[in-house]
Amino acid sequence: MSAQGPIRISTEPECTRVEFTEKHVIDEVVIRQIGNELTKLVDASPRPRLVVSFTGVEHLSSAALGTLLTVMNRVRAKDGQLRLCDIAPQILQIFEITKLNKVLRIEKDLAAAKASLGGAA
């Protein structure tokens, strides 16, 4: 794990953008840390608008899927919005196999994810 932590967070006018700093999102300890950081982000906003970019991610485990679902439920509870984007084909296949592409909103890229966000920031 890098010294900068497993995710990089940037605040943009339309949303809060999250990127992974590692290409393998599979280590349970790291995934727990990612979950904690995302939870903090969601809790800090009255109506979170979160875009999670998978640029550079080559591997994803079922534990990471679970964390995304937990975050989705927290975002939804606050009437917020969550988008996933920039997902490589082999990772997208994981979402399709588990049918989570029907539950989590996936957009092609960051621009599409931002454009899909409705309502005021």
Q: Which two tokens stand for residue 4?
A: 């900068």
Q: Residue 8 Cβ, how far from other proteins at the closest point, in Å?
A: 21
Residue 17, strand partner residues: 10, 51
* Choices 6-14, 39-47, 77-85, 92-100; region in contact with other proteins by CB under 8 A: 92-100
Tokens of residue 3, six digits: 């010294």
87 neighbors 54 (Cβ within 8 angstroms)? yes
Pairing of strands 16-20, 7-11: antiparallel
- CB of residue 57 vs other proteins: minimum separation in angstroms? 12
Examine residue 97 and tell whether it contacts other proteins (CB under 8 A): yes
- Between CA 15 and CA 89 the distance in angstroms is 25
Of residues 20-79, those binding other proteins (CB under 8 A): 26-29, 58-59, 61-63, 65-67, 69-70, 72-73
- Take residue 100 and report the two structure tokens written for it: 């989570």
User: Where do contacts with other proteins occur on this chain (CB under 8 A)?
Assistant: 26-29, 58-59, 61-63, 65-67, 69-70, 72-73, 90, 93-94, 96-100, 102-103
